[in-house]
Amino acid sequence: MPARIRTVVDPRFPAELGRLRRAHGMSLRDLARRAFYGKSYLHDLESGRTRPTLDVAHQLDELLHAGGSLAAMVTALPTVTTPDDDERLAYVSAEPTRLDGTSVRLLADVLAAQRRLDDVLPAPVTLPAVLAHWHTAQQLARHAAGSHATELHYVVAEWTQFVGWLYAEARNDAEAVRVLTEAAAQADAVDSGPLAAQVENFRGYLERQRGNARGIVRHFIAAYHTPGATALQRVGDAVQAAHGYALLGDRTAAGRLLAEASDLTTVAESQQAPALAYWLTPTFSRMGLGLAYLALGDVVAGADNLRAGLAGLPADQARAEWTQEYRQALAVATG
C-alpha cells in the first residue's frame, strides 16, 4: 500500500498559501524565518510536492492571518490501520499470492472509512487519497491468488464505483463515465446485483447533474430492474426514474413508477441497507421523491418530501456535498 496518508489536503492549499504569503509582502525566506521552517520546505508546500501536517497548516494560518481558512484546507484522516496492519498490507502487495482474509478485511475497512469521508468533505479534496489506495488495490487484485482473491475483487469493484462517484460529484464527467463503465464490468464479474444496480444509480446521478432527462430515465430504470438489487435500492431508483419521466413530460410513466415505489416501501422498511449503500433508508428516498413531485408541478408535496428527507439525514451526512442539489431545489420551491 502507499505510505500512510494522515491528512486530506484541499488541492487549492498550495496556491492559497502562496497567495497569502504574497499578499503580506513576504518572500519564501521571510516566511521561513518567521515560521522556523526551511525555505525549501515552504517551496515544496507551495508547489504541492509536500503535504502539510495539521500543525503546519494551523501555524501558517496564524502567521498569515488567514482566519482559519488555510487551516480548514487540511483535515486529519481517521486512523483505520495500525503500523502492524500497514506492514501486513505492504507484504501482500509485494507477495500477492500470499493474500489472506485479514488483508482483505483491512482493505475493506480503509474503503469504508474513505466512503464516510465523502459525507463530510468535497470530492476534489478526497480524490487524491482515494485514487492512491484504489490503484494499489487494483494492482494487488490483478496478481492475487488463493481462496481470498474473490473477496478482494469484490472490494476492488466497490472501490472502482466509489472513484467513479467521486469523479461524478466533482463534475469530471469524462472520467466518471470511464470509471463507472469499468465498475459495471467489475460488478458483473463478481456477480453482485447490489453493486451492479449502484453503478447504474451513480450514472443516473451524473446525468441529472448534466440535465439530461433521458439519461436520468435510462440509468435509473436500469438500476431499478437490475436482478439482485435490494428493495431499498429499487425504491430510490424508481422515484429517481420517475423524476426523469416527469422532466420529459410523461406523467403516466412517472405516476406508475411512484406507485411501484410506494408498494416497495413496505418491504424496504423491513430490510437493512447493504453495506455498500449504507446511507439508504426509506426516509432518504424522500429527497428523490421531492424532486419528482416538483417536476410534476406539485410544489407542496415536493417541498414536504425534500424537508423530510433532509431532516432524516444523520448528523455526519447532513452537510454532505451531495445534499446541495436537494437544498437548492427546496430553496427554489419555497422561495
Say yes or no: 133 and 226 in one domain: no
Please list the pLDDT of the chain residue by residue as tens digits (335 residues): 555 567 788 888 999 999 999 999 999 999 999 999 999 999 999 998 888 988 999 999 999 999 999 998 888 777 788 889 989 999 999 999 999 999 999 999 999 999 999 998 889 989 988 999 999 999 999 999 889 999 999 999 999 999 999 999 999 999 999 999 999 999 999 999 999 999 999 999 999 999 999 999 999 999 999 999 999 999 999 999 999 999 999 999 999 999 999 999 988 988 889 999 999 998 999 999 999 999 999 999 999 999 999 999 999 999 999 999 999 999 999 98
Hey, what's the cell of 281?
Answer: 433508508
Would residue 2 count as lying in a domain? no
Would residue 297 count as lying in a domain? yes
Say yes or no: 186 and 275 in one domain: no
Would residue 172 count as lying in a domain? yes
Say yes or no: 182 and 224 in one domain: no
Q: What is the pLDDT of residues 103-123, one digit of tens each?
A: 999 999 999 999 999 998 889
Cα 116 from Cα 78, distance rounded (Å): 10
216: containing domain: 193-335
Say yes or no: 93 and 198 in one domain: no
Domain with 36 in it: what CATH number? 1.10.260.40
Say yes or no: 213 and 91 in one domain: no
Question: How many separate domains does the chain show?
Answer: 3
Give the domain-ending residue among 55, 76, 97. Answer: 76
Say yes or no: 72 and 91 in one domain: no
Cα 137 from Cα 14, distance rounded (Å): 28
Return the exposure string of 117-156: e unless at least 16 CB atoms fall within 10 Å of the residue's CB, then b: bbbbbbbbbbbebbeebbebbbebbeebeeebbebbbbbb
Give the domain-ending residue among 76, 102, 126. Answer: 76
Would residue 143 count as lying in a domain? yes
Say yes or no: 335 and 201 in one domain: yes
Domain with 251 in it: what CATH number? 1.25.40
Say yes or no: 89 and 186 in one domain: yes
Say yes or no: 309 and 249 in one domain: yes
